[in-house]
Every structure is written in C-alpha cells, then in structure tokens.
C-alpha cells in the first residue's frame, strides 16, 4: 500500500451522500404533492427548503475543494457529480413550482406515475453515490437508474399522447405539457448522475 504524506480528504463522499439523501426527500415530497386528486400546493414550499439545503451542501463542498490539497477523486469529477446532483433537485423544485404557479387543480395520472418514478430514481441515485464512496455496487445502481429512466420515457410519451387526445383547453395543454416535460426531465437528470458515477468508478477502479 502506497504511503501518503498528505492524506486524502474523504469527507467529500459524506457530503455527496447527504445531498443525495436530500434528493430522496425532495422526490418523496413531490410524490406526496401529486398523490391526491388535488395537488398539495403547500408541498412546493417544503421542496424549496430541500433545494436550499442542497445549495448549502454544494457550497460547503466547493469550499472544501478550495481548502483540500489531495481529493479522493479528481476535482473535475467532484464538480461534475455536484452539478449533476444539483440539476436533479432543480428539476424537482421547478416541477413543484409550476404546479403551484399554474394553480393546477387536478392531477393527471401520468404526472403521478412520473413522480413515483422520480422517487425510485432518486433512491437509486442515493444508493449509487453511497456505493461510489465504498467502491462497490455502483454498476447495479447505474443499471437500475437507466431502467427507471426508460420507464419514465414510456410514461411521458403515453401521458402526452393522452393529454393531446383528452384535453380541449389549449391553455391547460400548454401548462401540462410543460409540467410533464419537467417531471420527465428529472429522471433524465438522474440518468446524468448515473453517467458521472459510472465514469468516476471506471476511472478509479
């Protein structure tokens, strides 16, 4: 085993796991927001608080990066993973904001299904980030995130088709198309995290 005069700062992994746990919380709140027939608009504020906590973790990671000489993974990989995780909560937050801003009164089934898939994807993101720190189990999480994202693509396509077929009010079509885009986008962002996790794991394995 090589001797390091200056030890690597491993706390980065703890902070990434903490941020991924916040994503799980934000996703769960979004699912709770969309579970009833009438969306629970108040959940948007709770999600906003989660987004702020993610910002705080992100800020701490960047500050730590500036103070640290030897990092556990390459600096560009830390930036990439941090940015990918941040994009997930941003899409979750934006989805909740739209539901409240547009005063959506009735939840469409596709939105509810997508929110549940976002929960599943964020759970796997958390598992993958934790696995990266342990150097084991990353591939399984990455594969599952890809499967969930494929399911989300199908739910989105079906949901948009049903929207255009059933909804006669063009304003509602515009609102819901944008919401469905953002919800599906959150699963895409989870897949982006998976790509970063896989690339980092391969590089350091």
Residue ranges of domains in the chain? 11-204
Please say whether the beta carbons of 88 and 29 come within 8 A. Answer: no
Residue 102: which region, alpha, beta or left (left: phi > 0; alpha: psi -120 to 50)?
A: alpha
CA–CA separation, 94 vs 102, rounded Å?
12
CA–CA separation, 29 vs 82, rounded Å?
22
Q: Over the stretch 111-139, which tens digit does the pLDDT of each residue have?
A: 999 999 999 999 999 999 999 988 899 99
Residue 10: predicted pLDDT: 63
* Per-residue confidence band for 67, with pLDDT thresholds at 50, 70 and 90: confident
Residue 6: predicted pLDDT: 35
Write the CB contacts of 52 (distance below 8 Å, at least 6 apart in sequence).
Answer: none
Q: Over the stretch 72-97, which tens digit does the pLDDT of each residue have?
A: 888 899 999 999 999 999 999 999 99
- Homologous superfamily of 11-204 in CATH? Phosphate transport system protein phou homolog 2; domain 2 (1.20.58.220)
Residue 7: predicted pLDDT: 40
Q: Over the stretch 151-195, which tens digit does the pLDDT of each residue have?
A: 999 999 999 999 999 999 999 999 999 999 999 999 999 999 999
Give the chain's largest Cα–Cα span.
Answer: 69
16: which 2 tokens?
Answer: 């990434």
Strands (E), 56-167: none
CA–CA separation, 90 vs 49, rounded Å?
12
pTM, to two decimals = 0.93
């Amino acid at each position: 085993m090589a001797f390091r005069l200056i030890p690597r700062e491993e706390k980065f992994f703890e902070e990434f796991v903490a941020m991924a746990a916040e994503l799980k919380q934000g996703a769960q709140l979004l699912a709770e927001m969309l579970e009833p027939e009438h969306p629970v608009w108040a959940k948007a504020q709770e999600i906003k608080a989660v987004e702020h906590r993610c910002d705080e973790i992100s800020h701490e990671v960047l500050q730590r990066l500036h103070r640290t000489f030897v990092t556990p993974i390459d600096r560009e990989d830390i930036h990439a993973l941090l940015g990918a995780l941040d994009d997930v909560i941003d899409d979750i937050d934006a989805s909740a904001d739209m539901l409240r801003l547009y005063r959506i009164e009735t939840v469409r089934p596709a939105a509810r299904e997508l929110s549940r898939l976002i929960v599943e994807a964020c759970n796997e993101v958390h598992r993958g980030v934790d696995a990266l720190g342990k150097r084991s189990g990353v591939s399984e999480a990455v594969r599952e995130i890809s499967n969930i994202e494929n399911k989300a693509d199908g739910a989105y396509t079906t949901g948009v088709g049903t929207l255009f077929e059933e909804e006669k009010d063009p304003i509602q079509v515009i609102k819901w198309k944008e919401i469905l885009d953002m919800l599906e986008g959150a699963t895409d962002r989870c897949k982006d995290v998976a790509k970063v996790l896989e690339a980092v794991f391969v590089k350091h394995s």
